């Protein structure tokens, strides 16, 4: 367990390691937090925020670049996902959340069957047909999961400690996600036509 407190930034997103995340900092408490992080050259934690509070698994972010500063203290920054962590205790002594955390990696080394990698990539090409994916990436599951919008599924993937298990979970869950995604697109296409198309019998103006 780490003895220092990690500043936390609760957001409606799930951050994965080695994933860029641009942020616009405008709340006073986070202006304060980011100022201190920049001053110390440290990382802060990004955690998924929900109705029941913050997730207990998150990922640290390092500030790669301050893109723009505004006169009122707001700023645009580019961050990069770094290390996964588990919260052991929250601390509310400051204006922003902090936590004692334990960093973790996957359990040991494992061989990922090539067939499993190929199946996962082919599945995700249904979402991003033209997006290039490194089939032999050491964190292929994260590379693929960042393409989906379901934050609950992404949170599960972030929490798992086996690349093989993550890929198998994606293969199991993503077909259902794809079906919902296609249905939502279909509804968005049909809805504007409902009662407003000149092809409907009632519209003869």
Q: pLDDT, tens digit, for every residue of 19-38? A: 999 999 999 999 999 999 99
Q: pLDDT, tens digit, for every residue of 39-95? A: 999 999 999 998 889 999 999 999 999 999 999 999 999 999 999 999 999 999 999
Distance CA 42, CA 11 (A): 19
Dihedral of the alpha carbons of 58, 157, 112, 139, in degrees to the nearest 10: -50
Q: pLDDT, tens digit, for every residue of 71-82? A: 999 999 999 999
- Residue 188 phi, psi dihedral angles, 5° rounding: -65, -30
Judged against a pLDDT cut of 50, whether residue 2 lies above it is answered with: no
Q: What is the mean pLDDT of the chain?
A: 87
Residue-level pLDDT at 195: 44
Contact partners, residue 173, CB within 8 Å, separation at least 6? 153
Q: Where are the alpha helices (DSSP H) in the chain?
A: 28-40, 114-124, 140-145, 151-159, 163-190
CB 6 within 8 A of CB 43: yes
Distance CA 174, CA 42 (A): 35
């Amino acid at each position: 367990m780490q003895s220092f407190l990690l500043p936390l930034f609760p957001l409606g997103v799930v951050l994965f390691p080695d994933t860029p995340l641009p942020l616009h900092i405008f709340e006073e408490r986070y202006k304060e937090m980011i100022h201190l992080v920049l001053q110390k050259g440290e990382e802060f934690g990004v955690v998924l925020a929900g109705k029941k509070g913050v997730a207990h698994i998150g990922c640290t972010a390092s500030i790669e670049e301050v893109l723009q500063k505004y006169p009122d203290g707001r700023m645009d920054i580019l961050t990069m996902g770094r290390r996964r962590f588990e919260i052991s205790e929250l601390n509310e002594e400051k204006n922003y959340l902090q936590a004692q955390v334990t960093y973790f990696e996957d359990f040991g080394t494992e061989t990922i069957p090539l067939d499993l990698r190929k199946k996962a990539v082919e599945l995700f090409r249904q979402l991003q047909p033209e997006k290039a994916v490194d089939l032999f990436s050491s964190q292929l599951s994260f590379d693929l999961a960042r393409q989906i919008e379901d934050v609950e599924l992404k949170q599960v993937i972030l929490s798992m400690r086996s690349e093989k298990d993550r890929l198998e979970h994606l293969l199991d869950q993503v077909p259902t996600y794809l079906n919902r995604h296609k249905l939502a697109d279909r509804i968005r296409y049909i809805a504007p036509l409902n009662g407003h198309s000149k092809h409907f019998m009632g519209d003869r103006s």
